[in-house]
């Protein structure tokens, strides 16, 4: 579980053909910042399964924020 958030986002970006900058990962409603490792989240413990929410910014999101 030593992977960092940036690496996970890069894999998702490549697999899903979504720009890296449009991806955000959340754990228990809190943003997981790129430089952090999954080890930085002690509440994950040694679990091999975790629920991470992936949010994708879309063009529609950009229009709503203007």
pLDDT value of position 60: 58
Just give the CATH number of 5-41+49-64.
3.10.20.90
Q: What is the pTM of this model?
A: 0.75
pLDDT tens digit string along 2-52? 689 999 999 999 999 999 999 999 988 989 999 898 888 877 766 667 788
The length of the chain, given as a count of residues = 66
Looking up tokens 């924020």 gives 65
Q: What share of the chain is helix, strand, coil (3-state, %, to 5)?
A: 40, 20, 40
pLDDT value of position 25: 94
Please provide the DSSP assignment of 30-45 as one string. Answer: EE--TT-BGGG-GGGT
């Amino acid at each position: 579980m030593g992977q960092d958030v940036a690496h996970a986002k890069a894999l998702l970006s490549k697999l899903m053909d979504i720009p890296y900058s449009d991806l955000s990962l959340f754990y228990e409603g809190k943003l997981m910042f790129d430089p952090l490792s999954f080890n930085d989240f002690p509440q994950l413990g040694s679990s091999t399964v975790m629920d991470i929410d992936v949010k994708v910014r879309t063009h529609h999101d950009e229009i709503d924020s203007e």
